[in-house]
Amino acid sequence: MNILILGAGGREHTFAWKLKQSPKLNNLFVAPGNAGTAEIAKNIPIGVNDFEAIKELVLSEAINMVVVGPEDPLVNGVHDFFLNDAAIKHIPVIGPEKAAAELEGSKDFAKQFMMRHNIPTAAYESFTKDNLEEGYAFLESLKAPYVLKADGLAAGKGVLILQDLQEAKDELKEMLVGAKFGNASTTVVIEEFLDGIELSVFVLTDGENYKVLPTAKDYKRIGEGDTGLNTGGMGAISPVPFADDVFMTKIHDRVVKPTVEGLKKDNLPYKGFIFIGLIKVANEPLVIEYNVRMGDPETEVVLPRVKNDLVEVFEAVAAQKLNEIDLQLDDRTATTVMTVSGGYPEAYEKGKEITGIENVSNESIVFQAGTTLKDGKVVTNGGRVLAVTSFGTNFKEALKTSYKNLDNIAFEGVYYRKDLGFDL
């Protein structure tokens, strides 16, 4: 098998690391990739949304499968692009078709899907600039805090949680009339605020069958104690200790099963990962959001716990034979700690040399994210720079190993959270 991974983050480095372990793998390509993927695969400098260039690459390198990391190309229809082109339609793409990717591409679509299939979620209404006044009235009917969500993709920045009613009204107007998030906020979902603890569950489906992958908890805020600005994710833990068997059964029966069945009923073709963001309120799981891909940095703790040959698993997804796979998981806890550039998630500098990766012991795995090669050296190239994953009998043990190995790694301005798991 020759496989192409689309993307450039820690998630894609983890996919590459895992696929590389398969005896079925021949050549591995990552577009565009980072300094980490360059060590184990061939990086190709093309963008994830440049479908024509991807097609040329697939044909010239005899690629047999495409694994899509981020949501953008899925929402833009990369899977459909393959299916609609006679030269490449036989090549499996791991990731949903455009119609199904709307589960992440449109929050309003996702809410309607959940309502239609009785999947528990926060009460909501959607508004456009034509019914702004009704939006104000809906806000008045709710209690603080107020949750406003841009309908479309907004690079993880489209959700506002506001304490003050007037501020919420002003922001609603700014989103709808002022196009605060461009076209993404042409429609805004206003939601009831849910107070609870969050976790994510990952599902891999072939459209007919599915496997529930390990749970994970991500730490999104930049500051310790979950304070400060939102980031792409500062670290993750898998499994989530409070997701016991009773709670997992609820998640399965009320959320996972109706989601996969709902996709089928609605004719939404799905061969790929479903990332279900959940919140536990009074012992019940409610869905906060769907993503149509794996999470980052959740992938860095979920995939290392999957013992199966990932090429075989993806082949089963493509052939719609996922029922034939016996998913084997590592019982240990995995944690990952993300190091970021000083200043992130606001302005930060790039191009800082990263030293000491080679001194990390084999108890930990370094997954690179915002890195690149410059004059033969690994340098920073993004806000989130690299994640250090370790195993342990519990999350504290695993974290201890990650933090110990992090002491070896240095770059100017390096920052990471030292309190992961503080809320567990």
User: Which stretch, 24-32, 193-201, 257-265, 385-393, contacts ligand AMP (CB under 6 A)?
Assistant: 193-201
Q: How many whole angstroms separate alpha carbon 138 and alpha carbon 269?
A: 34
Pattern 145-184, binding to ligand AMP, x per CB under 6 A?
Answer: --x-x---------x-------------------------
User: Which stretch, 48-56, 186-194, 266-274, 289-297, contacts ligand GLY (CB under 6 A)?
Assistant: 289-297
DSSP 393: S
**Are 187 and 128 spatial neighbours (Cβ–Cβ below 8 Å)?**
yes
Question: ω before 239 within 30° of 0 (cis)?
Answer: yes
DSSP 184: G
Q: Does 57 interact with ligand AMP (rule: CB under 6 A)? A: no
Contacts for 284-288 with beta carbons within 8 Å, 24 or more apart? 284/120, 284/250, 285/120, 285/247, 285/250, 285/251, 285/254, 285/255, 286/120, 286/121, 286/122, 286/194, 286/196, 287/114, 287/119, 287/120, 287/121, 287/255, 288/121, 288/122, 288/194, 288/198
CA 346 to chain CA mean position, Å: 21
Q: How many whole angstroms separate alpha carbon 291 and alpha carbon 208?
A: 19
Q: How many whole angstroms separate alpha carbon 335 and alpha carbon 389?
A: 5
Near ligand AMP by CB under 6 A: residue from 193, 330, 363, 423? 193
**Least CB distance to ligand GLY at residue 233 (A):** 4
Look at strands 3-7 and 65-68 and give their pairing: parallel
Near ligand AMP by CB under 6 A: residue from 277, 356, 392, 413? 277
296 makes contact, choosing from ligand AMP, ligand GLY, none, with CB < 5 to 8 Å by partner type, with ligand GLY
Pick the closest to residue 68 from 299, 390, 323 (CA basis): 299
12 makes contact, choosing from ligand GLY, ligand AMP, none, with CB < 5 to 8 Å by partner type, with none
Question: Residue 288 or residue 398: which is nearer to ligand AMP going by CB?
Answer: 288
Q: How many residues bind ligand GLY (CB under 6 A)?
A: 6
Amino acid identity of residue 207, one-letter, is G
Near ligand GLY by CB under 6 A: residue from 295, 345, 370, 383? 295
List all residues 6 or more positions away from 180 whose beta carbon is below 8 Å from its beta carbon.
150, 171, 174
Q: Does 194 interact with ligand AMP (rule: CB under 6 A)? A: yes
Near ligand GLY by CB under 6 A: residue from 80, 191, 298, 309? 298
1 makes contact, choosing from ligand GLY, ligand AMP, none, with CB < 5 to 8 Å by partner type, with none
Look at strands 159-162 and 284-291 and give their pairing: unpaired
Q: Does 289 interact with ligand AMP (rule: CB under 6 A)? A: yes
194 makes contact, choosing from ligand AMP, ligand GLY, none, with CB < 5 to 8 Å by partner type, with ligand AMP
Report 222-241 residues binding ligand GLY (CB under 6 A): 233
422 makes contact, choosing from ligand AMP, ligand GLY, none, with CB < 5 to 8 Å by partner type, with none
Question: Residue 171 or residue 296: which is nearer to ligand GLY going by CB?
Answer: 296
Interaction site with ligand AMP (CB under 6 A): 122, 147, 149, 159, 191, 193-194, 198, 277, 288-289
